[in-house]
């Protein structure tokens, strides 16, 4: 394959990319919201649903046993993908949102005899977070009587360990952080930040949704108790995700979903929960989705994560430079070199109008607050236009983006 991704050949593996939009070839640059799905993933899910579809666990018939095997094999594949160690467990969820809610709820639920979070404790959340890694902690603080503290970014939207150190103390019980700010493309030094919080005695939580497709952290190398990500951001199906954690940390969680498959025994008066990971996976799971998510992990591994990471970072760098050269355009995190997201604002032009005109040119981008309103308010920029890249995007599409924004600015000013 050499040292470059064969993007044109790869694009043929993604049926959605073959279409035209408004008479133009589709340039899909909204990958931070959802990536497209390749044929191997679609085939894996179709094969399961046409041959092995049945409910998992406890079934003695052949289809149930095959479905159970497929589900548990998917779990093993994903554990390898995230670099889980022998002291980790992997819980399959509906996405990063459910995974993060599971942690925040599980540490504060008073159904536990000794919840991890109690009155007077402190939760630290970074100011870069998607609402899914902020709102659950706000509610957990209210539920438990803990205090929520925010690690605020600097004026450019960056974080560092010097800002975190003064917030840590004997009352710090949780530190939650993103691996990449979805609204700006900033990659915080999460390895060092997590390590610092862990040394202070906090349970650490990493939202890896924006890293999953090209820069997935290796769990065993991090001072990280819980890590969450979504399948739909790594070329997998929607409605799938993962919570991977240290076994001792996961055992502290009260289950979020109560019902079938997460119990060991039930009487009229008492329920005993099943061991991990089943106790955190109540109800019938999305088995076909898990199979598809594992196929997506294999697809990414087959191409090479380092190669994908370098490719999308190169596209991000070219887009940031080209957009910043346009009059009145301000790129957020302009010097960032390690992510796939470029977000910008333009003087005198609303992002929604830019996005609409780009769509008329067949270019798909995202506009708005990107579920990170506190961060954009902190930076004083309001809604932005965001382009985000994946393994199938090309330098030509970056040029189309830059030319399209230039056209939009000329038309709207």
Residue ranges of alpha helices (H) inside 114-246 are 135-144, 161-164, 190-199
**H or E segment to which residue 395 belongs:** helix 395-412
d(CA 121, CA 107): 12
Among the listed residues 46, 180, 224, 371, the single catalytic one is 371
Using DSSP bridges, classify how beta strands 271-273 and 263-266 pair: parallel, antiparallel or unpaired.
antiparallel
**H or E segment to which residue 308 belongs:** helix 305-324
In this structure, what DSSP letter does residue 349 have? B
Q: Indicate the burial class of 120 (C-beta count within 10 angstroms; 0-12, 13-18, 19 or more).
A: exposed
Angle among Cα 81, 241, 372 to the nearest 5 degrees reads: 110
Residue matched to tokens 């035209």: 20
Alpha carbon 311 to its chain's center = 19
SS3 category, 107: helix
In this structure, what DSSP letter does residue 165 have? G
Take residue 37 and report the two structure tokens written for it: 């799905």
Q: Is residue 242 a contact partner of residue 228, using CB atoms and an 8 Å limit?
A: yes
SS3 category, 344: strand
Q: Which long-range contacts (CB under 8 A, 24 or more apart) does 314-317 make?
A: 315/340, 315/389, 315/393, 315/394, 315/395, 315/397, 315/398, 316/185, 316/340, 316/341, 316/342, 316/389
- Known catalytic residue at 371: yes
Backbone φ and ψ of 295, nearest 5°? -65, -35
Active site residues: 371
């Amino acid at each position: 394959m050499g040292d470059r991704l064969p993007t044109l050949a790869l694009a043929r593996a993604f049926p959605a990319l073959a279409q035209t939009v408004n008479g133009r070839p589709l340039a899909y640059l909204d990958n931070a919201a959802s990536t497209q799905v390749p044929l191997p993933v679609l085939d894996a899910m179709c094969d399961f649903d046409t041959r092995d579809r049945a409910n998992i666990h406890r079934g003695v018939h052949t289809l149930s046993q095959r479905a159970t095997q497929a589900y548990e094999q998917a779990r093993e594949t994903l554990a390898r993908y995230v670099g889980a160690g022998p002291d980790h467990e992997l819980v399959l969820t509906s996405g990063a949102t459910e995974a993060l809610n599971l942690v925040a709820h599980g540490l504060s639920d008073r159904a536990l005899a000794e919840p991890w979070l109690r009155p007077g404790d402190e939760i630290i959340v970074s100011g870069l977070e998607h609402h899914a890694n902020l709102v659950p902690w706000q509610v957990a603080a209210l539920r438990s009587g803990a205090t929520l503290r925010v690690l605020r970014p600097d004026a450019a939207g960056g974080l560092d360990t010097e800002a975190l150190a003064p917030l840590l103390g004997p009352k710090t019980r949780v530190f939650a952080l993103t691996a990449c700010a979805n609204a700006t493309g900033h990659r915080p030094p999460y390895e060092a930040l997590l390590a610092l919080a862990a040394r202070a005695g906090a349970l650490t939580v990493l939202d890896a949704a924006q890293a999953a497709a090209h820069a997935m952290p290796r769990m065993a190398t991090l001072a990280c108790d819980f890590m969450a990500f979504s399948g739909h951001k790594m070329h997998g199906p929607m409605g799938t995700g993962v919570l991977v954690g240290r076994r001792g940390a996961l055992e502290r969680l009260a289950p979020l979903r109560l019902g079938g498959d997460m119990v060991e025994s039930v009487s009229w008066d008492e329920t005993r929960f099943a061991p991990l990971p089943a106790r955190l996976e109540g109800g019938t799971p999305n088995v076909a989705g898990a199979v598809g998510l594992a196929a997506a992990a294999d697809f990414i591994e087959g191409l090479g994560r380092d190669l994908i990471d370098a490719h999308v970072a190169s596209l991000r760098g070219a887009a940031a430079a080209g957009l910043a050269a346009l009059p009145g355009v301000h790129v957020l995190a302009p010097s960032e070199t390690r992510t796939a997201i470029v977000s910008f604002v333009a003087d005198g032009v609303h992002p929604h109008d830019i996005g609409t005109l780009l769509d008329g040119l067949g270019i798909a981008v995202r506009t708005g607050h990107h579920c990170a309103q506190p961060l954009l308010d902190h930076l004083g920029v309001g809604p932005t236009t965001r382009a985000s890249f994946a393994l199938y995007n090309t330098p030509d599409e970056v040029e189309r983006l830059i030319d399209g924004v230039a056209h939009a600015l000329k038309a709207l000013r």
